[in-house]
Structure 1
Amino acid sequence: MLNKEDTGLIVVDIQGKLASIVDESEALIENCTKLIQGAKALGLPIIWLEQNPEKLGKTVDSVAELMGEQSPVEKYTFDGCNEPNFKHALNEAQKHSWLVCGIEAHICVYQTATHLANLNFDVHVVSDCVSSRDINNKQLALNKFCNERVKLTGLEMCLYELVKDCRAPEFKLILSLIK
């Protein structure tokens, strides 16, 4: 079970034209912004990745604006774990459980999440916060995660799992995000 004291969020490559051509792109971006807002309300650390931003473009505005002054970790390998600055951010956060969202589910999300699981992190891919250009590739990734010790969750499921109690100060904001 996720708990806010030991959980962080990794946002993978929601960038440029690619973000607009993945399957159900508008829903993906909307769900990811809700997830980020919920993570911020719960005080979770957020690590934000960008794949080759000079070629793919910057993170979409609605996501980037939520990051405030925080800068993205640039990467050129599909697996974020191969980027030293990403590993440094993981170590700084000192969390064991990680929620993962972003694109593309079958490439960068898959490689980063499975590597994290192989490093013995508790990894939860938020299934309605990931996508690929082809829905079949997203489904393939979701199916493979189960064989890679990566858990699947959903936007609503993980936020309520983290807030735990309707009396929690964060509950009303979480509720407003989900409605």
Structure 2
Amino acid sequence: MLNRASTGLVVVDVQGKLAHLVDDSDVLIANCGKLVQGAQVLGLPIIRLEQNPEKLGATVDELNDLLSDVNPIPKFTFNACYEPKFVETVQAEDVETWLVCGIEAHICVYQTAMGLLDLGYKVQVVGDCVSSRTALNKDLAIRRLTDAGAQITGLEMSLYELVKDCRAPEFKPILALIR
């Protein structure tokens, strides 16, 4: 079970034109926005990544506005764990489990999640908050990550698991996001 005291969120490369070319892009961007807002309500640490931002562009406006206080970490490797700034940022947080969302599921999300597993973290990929240009590539990534020890969760599942109790002050803001 997720525990908000030891869980963080990594937002992988939801940027530029590519974010609008992935399978079911409108749903992906909306779900990532809800996940980010839920993480903010819950006080989770959030790390934002951008792949080669000079070429691919910045984080899409819908998420950039929500993440204005989270400076993006630029990267050029598909596995963010090869970028020292990302590893330093991850290790500076008191987190044992990372929720991962973003694009593309079979490339940067997959390789970064694998890198986090290799560093000894627990990883939960938020299945309805990841995508690729094709559904097949997303499915391949999910299967490979599951085989490697990552868990797959969903937007609602993860947020309610973190809230734990409908009496919690965070419940109503989370409920408003999900409705």
What is the alpha-carbon distance in structure 2 between the residues aligned to residue 117 and residue 129 of structure 1? Answer: 19
Please report the TM-score for the alignment, with normalisation by the length of structure 2.
0.99
Moved more, 65-74 or 26-35: 65-74
**Paired residue total:** 179
What is the alpha-carbon distance in structure 1 between the residues aligned to residue 79 and residue 87 of structure 2? Answer: 11
Matched, 1:45 2:45: yes
What is the alpha-carbon distance in structure 2 between the residues aligned to residue 93 and residue 67 of structure 1? Answer: 18
1:97-141, CA deviations, whole angstroms, 9 ceiling, x for partnerless residues?
Answer: 100000000000000001111221010000000000011000100
Q: Which residue is equivalent to 1:169? A: 169
Moved more, 65-74 or 76-85: 65-74
1:154-175, CA deviations, whole angstroms, 9 ceiling, x for partnerless residues?
Answer: 0000000000000001000110
Q: Which residue is equivalent to 1:11? A: 11
CA contact (8 A) 2:46 2:70 kept: no
What value does the CA root-mean-square deviation take over the aligned residues? Answer: 0.6
Q: Which residue is equivalent to 1:79? A: 79
SS in 2 for 1:102: strand
What is the alpha-carbon distance in structure 1 between the residues aligned to residue 139 and residue 91 of structure 2? Answer: 31
Q: Which residue is equivalent to 2:146? A: 146
- Written as runs of structure 1 = structure 2, the 5 A alignment for 1:1-179 is 1-179=1-179
Offset of 1:67 from its aligned partner? Answer: 1.0
SS in 2 for 1:77: coil
Instruction: Tell me the amino acid that sits aligned with residue 154 of structure 1.
Output: G
SS in 2 for 1:16: coil
Instruction: Tell me the amino acid that sits aligned with residue 18 of structure 2.
Output: L
Structure 1 unaligned segments of length 5 or more: list them: none
What is the alpha-carbon distance in structure 1 between the residues aligned to residue 51 and residue 68 of structure 2? Answer: 19
Instruction: Tell me the amino acid that sits aligned with residue 178 of structure 2.
Output: I
What is the alpha-carbon distance in structure 2 between the residues aligned to residue 27 and residue 168 of structure 1? Answer: 28
The sequence identity of aligned pairs, in percent, is 60
Structure 2 unaligned segments of length 5 or more: list them: none
Please report the TM-score for the alignment, with normalisation by the length of structure 1.
0.99
4+ residue stretches of structure 1 with deviation over 2 A?
A: none
1:29-75, CA deviations, whole angstroms, 9 ceiling, x for partnerless residues?
Answer: 00000000000000000000000000001100010111123210000
